Structure 1
Amino acid sequence: MSPAPARACGIDFGTSNSTVGWLRPDAPTLLPLEAGKPTLPSAVFFNADEETTHFGRDALAEYLEGYEGRLMRALKSLLGSSLMEGSTEVGGRALPFRDLLASFIGELKSRAEAQAGRPFEQAVFGRPVHFVDDNETADRRAQDTLEAIARQVGFKEVSFQFEPIGAALHYEAGLDREELVLIADIGGGTADFSLVRLSPERARQVDRREDLLGNAGLHVGGTDFDRALSLECVMPLLGYRGRMKSGVEIPSSLFFQLATWHTINFAYTRQAFADFQHIYRDAATRRELDRLARLIGQREGHWLALQVEQAKIDLSAGDTTLLHLDRLEAGLAHRIDREDFALATRSLVERVAATVGNLLDRTGVAREKVDTLYFTGGASGVPQLRARIAAELPQARSIEGDLFGSIGAGLAVEAARRYG
């Protein structure tokens, strides 16, 4: 008799992409969520023209087609932040951020149930090692908020597992011998690491606490690399680090808002526009600020952020990329080289590397004893970051997992183990 499908699902609610895993016989673990693909980009678009709500790739397509409305991305970044108890304006009404997250997680649940042909009342959610760095109270509040939202959309039993452990469980399913593995899970919002002993024999054990030698994480991920690349290589085209007539540098808050996914809409408020008018009036030069005025007036902040994100992807695969910025100025194009990308993100890379080094030192495990460095999460493909982490473990072999699916698949294993 073949085993029955699991009762529960595993949910990887990611900063950039989300997946749902469900263990069942002779079928892929990850459920297709959009257009046959297992990933659903963590994006919501409220179409003001047609008064409709769109999710995932559909949300991005609606926005890029030019419909009026509000695009929200990097929703997970709200958890643990002061913004979580606030709201944003949609269609002239205040939409609490809690309800925004509930709409997306509810959509994940309903799509997974439609594909599975059955309801899910139990789920194991992935969570970063730290939602919030160096603040246990805020970190606990972030998990409690996510649990409350999950229950709000219909889950009756909710539990959590660290995302790198989810990836470890997925990797372990393919092992034929014991390995000491450093799981490097670097997603859109966080970089998380787990040092864990894995083997086919250990996989059969229910209690794995002795196999987990240490965890570490920090709030640095792909969106931080986007922001650094934007600020260093793109925002100067809009006036960042320009000068006022007095000689002082132009205030930077507007540029930081536009370079950060979940704060882009703040650049369109009345106060932000009033601040910009003051800057424009007293700026030493205005050509770059004319581009910024066009960006704000046409609400092209998310469009620009998408161009920067694509540049990051291009520079992770090749040596150079060319941004076409005609929406800001006719014929405007800007070349960025991989060296520029590396320089812009150097401090982020070193922060991540320091976290890895501290984890290895804290566990007391000699670096030469680590067999494998397992990369997962979309941002783990950034070459300068991967090389710097690998330098901490020069004798370990580097393995690339399913960058977007390992965690969801591993959480499905954990869900079956916990709930049957």
Structure 2
Amino acid sequence: MPAQTGPRVLGLDFGTTNSVVALGVGGGEPHLINFAAPGGSSVDVFRSALCFWQDEAVSGGQSVEAGPWAIAEYLAFPQDSRFIQSFKSVAASTNFEHASIFERRFRFEELGRIFLDRLRRHAGDALGTRPDRVIVGRPVVYAGASPNPRLARQRYDLMFGGFGSEIHYVHEPLGAAFTYAARLDGAATVLVADFGGGTSDFSVVRVGEPGTARRCTPLGQAGIGIAGDRFDYRIVDHLVLPLLGKGGTYRSFGKMLDIPANYFSDFGNWSRLALMRNRRTMAELAQLEHAATDRAAISRFISVIENELGFPLYDAVARLKRTLSTDTAARFSFSGGGLAIDEPVSRTDFEAWIAPDLAEIDATITRALDSAGTTAAAIDRVFLTGGSSLIPAVRQLFDGRFGADRIAAGDELTSIANGLALIGAQPDVGAWAVGDDA
């Protein structure tokens, strides 16, 4: 068999919750990079998480791990660790300057380079030499209030700059479209809906006949910073935050005031929760505890942060969502830091909590169709991807608009990376790339 010639292409889906890497060589079919996870298992989905701990034996006095290894390190020594997840969600935030970890400050791009370095190490020989092209997925619209795409691009350039000889950025749902196109045996107009951790993105793509030189042509798109992490917040807001003082008051100079909402919004955001364990915030919370009407609630708030319970809380929320995706009822159970919750939750409850978010997602689908100059009736197929696409209420949104017979799903966590690698093998790869102001 002759050796394949052509570029070594890496499709990199750097996600809010998980990251996936696909490698294609010489125009051949891409394959997913596997990582030998702790415990002897092998995974092709790498958790987008970091765990720092103090280590006098290394330069700088800090050690760090990423992915499944970050989780393992945290579980072994939770109180001596700083566990960070969902940090992609601050990429476009002008309010985020740095994360303070054990008194050391890290900018977004520094966290990103550390993450990529550990990902590369754990891939071992599977990644081989430096790829010729790296195709990085990026959301249509970044997460956060008033996201700044130019700032995100600057940070991405600094993060990914040394990862390959060429770096190109492509909208994530377009990557998924390339993967889905391989399933089709004819031409079709496809709506790709990608539900990640931080954003929900929609692209309308015209897929040509098999063998067409340019098989996928994007027609329009739209996105919104609402996805899995927002759904998580709704659960935390209803079941956890009332026990931590939300809605309570404190006394200041003889007046009764509402406890500032920013503490609770930070607590319910996975990218910011771990960063609350800093000297300034903890001092503020200590003062608030003394002045609060319900001191025990603020004490629990402080204890959850001090004991680094962000990951087990996230895990409890994720378990509830998964169970409610298959069952009509479940129990939310969490215990730690003086906080004990064991509450029944119905799927109807959860769907009511996320109803405002689903309405905004529905409006974003309409914007995507409008940007393509088309209507729901003209869409031949809808391809759902991303973990939150498994939530029944999300699926029902599309069934109602397009009809269940037009809906397809699958490869929820890997379709984007595979499609990005396929795009990287195209001779006109630059035509798919996104500019720094988009």
Q: Same fold (TM over 0.5)?
A: yes
Corresponding position of 1:334: 343
* Matched AA of 1:234: V
Moved more, 382-391 or 20-29: 20-29
Moved more, 112-121 or 401-410: 112-121
Equivalent runs, 1:313-392 vs 2, <5 Å: 313-329=322-338, 332-392=341-401
Corresponding position of 1:21: 22
Work out whether 1:170 is the aligned partner of 2:170. Answer: no
Distance in 2 of aligned mates of 1:61 and 1:170: 32
Corresponding position of 2:422: 413
Q: CA deviation at 1:179?
A: 1.8
Distance in 2 of aligned mates of 1:357 and 1:225: 21
Moved more, 351-360 or 315-324: 315-324
Distance in 2 of aligned mates of 1:361 and 1:82: 30
SS state at 1:8 partner:
strand
Contact between 1:370 and 1:396, CA under 8 Å: does it hold in 2?
no
Q: CA deviation at 1:162?
A: 1.0
Deviations 1:80-107 (A, max 9, x none): 11255x2223343223332111111233
Moved more, 97-106 or 26-35: 26-35
SS state at 1:194 partner:
strand
Distance in 2 of aligned mates of 1:115 and 1:238: 46
Moved more, 219-228 or 17-26: 17-26
Q: CA deviation at 1:400?
A: 0.9
Q: 1:334 to 1:314 in 2, by over 3 A?
A: same
Equivalent runs, 1:97-246 vs 2, <5 Å: 97-112=108-123, 114-131=125-142, 138-151=148-161, 153-201=162-210, 204-206=212-214, 208=216, 211-244=217-250
SS state at 1:305 partner:
helix
* Regions of 4+ moved over 6 Å: 25-28, 133-136
Distance in 2 of aligned mates of 1:401 and 1:418: 28
Corresponding position of 1:61: 72
* Matched AA of 1:11: L
Q: CA deviation at 1:232?
A: 2.0
Corresponding position of 1:72: 84
Contact between 2:30 and 2:418, CA under 8 Å: does it hold in 1?
no
* Matched AA of 1:144: Q
Work out whether 1:296 is the aligned partner of 2:297. Answer: no
Q: CA deviation at 1:234?
A: 1.8
Q: 2:294 aligns with which of 252, 268, 285?
A: 285
SS state at 2:24 partner:
coil
Distance in 1 of aligned mates of 2:347 and 2:110: 39
Task: Normalising by structure 1, report the TM-score.
Answer: 0.89
Q: 1:63 to 1:144 in 2, by over 3 A?
A: same
Corresponding position of 1:40: 46
Q: CA deviation at 1:386?
A: 2.3
Q: CA deviation at 1:133?
A: 7.6
Distance in 2 of aligned mates of 1:124 and 1:227: 31
* Matched AA of 2:20: T
Q: CA deviation at 1:276?
A: 2.2
* Matched AA of 1:213: L
Q: Matched residues, percent identical? A: 28
Q: CA deviation at 1:128?
A: 0.9
Work out whether 1:259 is the aligned partner of 2:261. Answer: no
Q: CA deviation at 1:261?
A: 1.0
SS state at 1:21 partner:
strand
* Matched AA of 1:80: A
Distance in 1 of aligned mates of 2:288 and 2:339: 24
Deviations 1:105-145 (A, max 9, x none): 23334444621433324211111112268968x21331232
Task: Normalising by structure 2, report the TM-score.
Answer: 0.86
Distance in 1 of aligned mates of 2:403 and 2:204: 16
Q: 1:26 to 1:376 in 2, by over 3 A?
A: same
Q: 1:416 to 1:393 in 2, by over 3 A?
A: same
Contact between 2:177 and 2:192, CA under 8 Å: does it hold in 1?
yes
Residues matched between the structures, number: 414
* RMSD of aligned alpha carbons: 2.7
Gapped runs of 5+ residues in structure 1?
none
Q: 2:277 aligns with which of 268, 276, 298?
A: 268
Distance in 1 of aligned mates of 2:428 and 2:204: 26
